[in-house]
Structure formats: structure tokens, C-alpha cells
Structure 1
């Protein structure tokens, strides 16, 4: 499998190193400011992995238009029009999109879908996420996706931090972002009931778990039919492969 990586930051470099260690052919890293690799190798690329900046997305989608190249998209902070562009592109290319490529987070979503219907009417719900001091977007894309799993029908008011005389709690979910140090990522959902608290927490100790997930996604989506795929599809594929 031949891959190309968009983004020259830490994630891009780690994906490049992991791919080569596994014996995959990686053409290296590029971006919209240095597009030559993509343009030169377009006929040979099987999968593009993008873990860079939202500004690269529309350029990538334009470049793969009319090709059979698959895209593994992991950039967070995408705007609604960019998400719609991804969906539209999936009609003509295989697209894998996730805000977090950790297996643990994928299972986190599954747990929430089981637990929330049992607790949402009698427990207060809060989300807290923590990341390193270089992360630019807040709250994290993962926190927002957890919020979507908790409240898919938007029954609750979403409160992003609290300040001042906010009054008694209403039918709401609080979302809080902490930044500091070199933390790869911590996501926690707290359910506060009468005289009891349930916490579901995931801690990433390095970016390598996201790298491993990205490579698994690339291997999964190669040669797949056009469509929009997710970590849920990857988990189902892994379970089916073991059965």
C-alpha cells in the first residue's frame, strides 16, 4: 500500500515512521504550501492520511477528485461546511473520518450510548477534556464527539465553561477544557447522581495510540467502496475478522 501524509508536524512524522516500520511505502509529508509530492505521486497513491490543519482539507479534496485515492481524515476543528464537503466527497472516494483514532475512545462512545439512556433523567452530566499546552482548538474534537454521543437529539443546553452568577443547574451539559504541559489527551464524562458519582475516563499517554489507529484505518479503507467510514466501522471489521 502506498500512502502520502499531509502535515509535517509531530503526528505526520510519527505516521511516516510507523508506516515505514511496517513495510508500507510512504512517499513522505506535504501540505498546501508544498504540494509537489501529492501532485507528482498522485497516480501511485492508495491512501492519503491528513492530521494537519483545517486549511488543508479543501485542497486535498480537490486534488483527489476524479481519482480512486482514499482519505483518512483526522484533523480536528473542522467547520460545518468542511464536514459537509467530506460527506460529499465520500460519494466519489472512500473517506475515513474520526476526531480521535484511539480504540479506547471508540469503545468510550459505545459505553456512552448504553449508559446515557439509563442515567440522563436522574444524573447531571459534565464533560472535561485535558490536552497539552500547544493544542489550538477548544474544546477538543473528541469532547464534541462525546457530547454528540451523549446528546444526539440535542435535548440539553450545552454550556461551554461557567463564570459568574450562573444560578441553579438547568437541563444542561457542561463542557470544560484544560490546557497544560505535554498531556496527549484526557477525556472524562462524569454522571452526578444523588449521593453517587459515575466517572468514565480515557487517558492517552502518548500520540502513538492515534498513530496506530490511523494506520489501521488506512489498511481498513484501502480498496473499500466509496463512502464515509468511521471508527465504528473499523471496530466492526476487526470483530468480524476475529469471528
Structure 2
């Protein structure tokens, strides 16, 4: 039975993770960390990582980018593996994760869905075959409360595609500001925000007289919760290093 600490336990994703863990028999929540330290689900909740004295096997973070530094320091001090699933991290924060992974096992992915990560692998295959002859556009859609745009997942998909292209492409986010024809060496990335859309990602390969579309639609947040829990179980017992969904897929 793996013991899990949830960072951001009183947020929407934190509550969903807690709910999913209650239905499993291979893990349990032993503590939470949240700026609102009320306990709703029967385990103790602490306002900051440094205040948590509870022993655990792994931590799942679905909180806020501002909490990353203190969480990483806590995990390094406790030698505690962690799944970093918070979105909206800066490039500097991602570098911090990479640096800390030299001391403790860390799992980091822009998207915790197994399906999305499989989509990235399929997109790489398609780009390797079609990339020189097809224009590539990525469209992502999320609910109207999402702050960052484009989504980290859209950037992850763009990075996956660009990794197999012969020339490094330019990411174009605002075609309205570019009054010229589309160049071959670019990937257009478009963000839509509206309603309660959980998450949709589409990769469009547009060629001469034909199009290929790869897409993924999230119907609920539960897929991200399940993915983070599976990642946490996977991470237990691993040596220091940086892991991602590619290691599971």
C-alpha cells in the first residue's frame, strides 16, 4: 500500500485525486498540502510543505506554480519522489525540476493522460512521414477559467512533432499579427477558451488535396487524476532521475 501526499488537495484536481484513490486498494492518502488547510477527507492538511511531518512514499502535486520551489525543497530534504502535474510552469521552473531530479526521482508531464501521450507518439510518426510536404497546425480548446495559453499540452505536442522534423520549425501563435503567406517552416498553435471544455487537442496535417487529423478529447478530469496516481505508483522505488509518460507508454 503506497502512501501518498497530495499537494493542492483542496483544489478541484486534488479532490478528484483523493476520490479516485479511495476506490483503489494499492494506495492511500496520508496527508495533504494546501493554502486552505481544512481537512475534508479524513487526512491531515498542512498549509506548507515544511509543516508536514507525515511519512509517505510519494507526493502528487496539482497545485500552483508559485508552490513549486518549496515543494522541490521539501522533496529533496525528505528524499521523497514526486509527480509534478501542475500546469503553467515557466521554462525556469522546468529547469529547476530537471536539476532536482538529479537528487530525487521526479515525474513530470504537461499532461497526465495516457491517451494524450499516445497522441504525441502518433503525431511524431505522422510528422516523420508527412512533415516535409504537409503544413502542421495545432488547435487546443479548454474551459473559460484556464489562465495559460497555449496549453502546456499543445506545446508538448508541438515539441514532439518538431523533434522529428529535418529543420527546427517556428511556432506561430498569432497569425493576425503576421501579414504574409504561411511559410513551410512553421507550426501554428491556436488556443480556444470557452464554457466547461475539459480539454481538446487536435493536430492537423494539411497537404495538397488531403488532410490528416489526430485528436484527443478529455471527457472529465478523472483521466488526469488516474494518470497522476498511476505515475505515482510507477515512481515508487525508482532511482533519482526525471521520468515522464513516455516511460509508461
TM-score by length of 1: 0.91
CA deviations on 1:74-128 (whole Å, 9 max, x unpaired) are 1111111111110111111110000111111111111112110211111111000
Partner residue, 2:43: none
Q: In the alignment, which of 198, 201, 216 is matched to residue 212 of structure 2? A: 198
- Check 1:192–1:36 CA distance in 2 against 1; reply closer, same or farther (3 A cut): closer
Verify: 1:167 aligned to 2:180, yes or no.
yes
3-state SS, counterpart of residue 163 of structure 1: helix
In 2, are the aligned partners of 1:133 and 1:180 still within 8 Å (CA)?
A: yes
Partner residue, 1:21: 23
Verify: 1:157 aligned to 2:170, yes or no.
yes
Partner residue, 1:6: 7
Partner residue, 1:239: none
Cα root mean square deviation, aligned: 1.7
Structure 1: give runs of 5+ residues left out of the alignment: 236-243
Between 152-161 and 168-177, the greater mean CA deviation after superposition: 152-161
How far the C-alpha of 1:29 sits from its partner, in A, is 3.0
How far the C-alpha of 1:182 sits from its partner, in A, is 0.8
Partner residue, 1:104: 115
Q: Distance in 2 between matches of 1:32 and 1:227?
A: 28
Verify: 1:208 aligned to 2:210, yes or no.
no
In 2, are the aligned partners of 1:98 and 1:230 still within 8 Å (CA)?
A: yes
How many residue pairs end up in the alignment? 235
Q: Distance in 1 between matches of 2:62 and 2:216?
A: 21
Q: Distance in 1 between matches of 2:71 and 2:177?
A: 44
Between 106-115 and 17-26, the greater mean CA deviation after superposition: 17-26
Q: Distance in 1 between matches of 2:174 and 2:195?
A: 21
3-state SS, counterpart of residue 117 of structure 1: helix
TM-score by length of 2: 0.89
Partner residue, 2:200: 186
Q: Distance in 1 between matches of 2:54 and 2:192?
A: 43
Q: 1:82-101 to 2 correspondence within 5 Å?
A: 82-101=93-112
Structure 2: give runs of 5+ residues left out of the alignment: 38-45
Q: Distance in 1 between matches of 2:80 and 2:213?
A: 41
Q: In the alignment, which of 144, 150, 153 is matched to residue 142 of structure 1? A: 153
Q: Which has the higher helix share?
A: 1
- Check 1:59–1:164 CA distance in 2 against 1; reply closer, same or farther (3 A cut): closer
3-state SS, counterpart of residue 198 of structure 1: strand
How far the C-alpha of 1:175 sits from its partner, in A, is 0.3
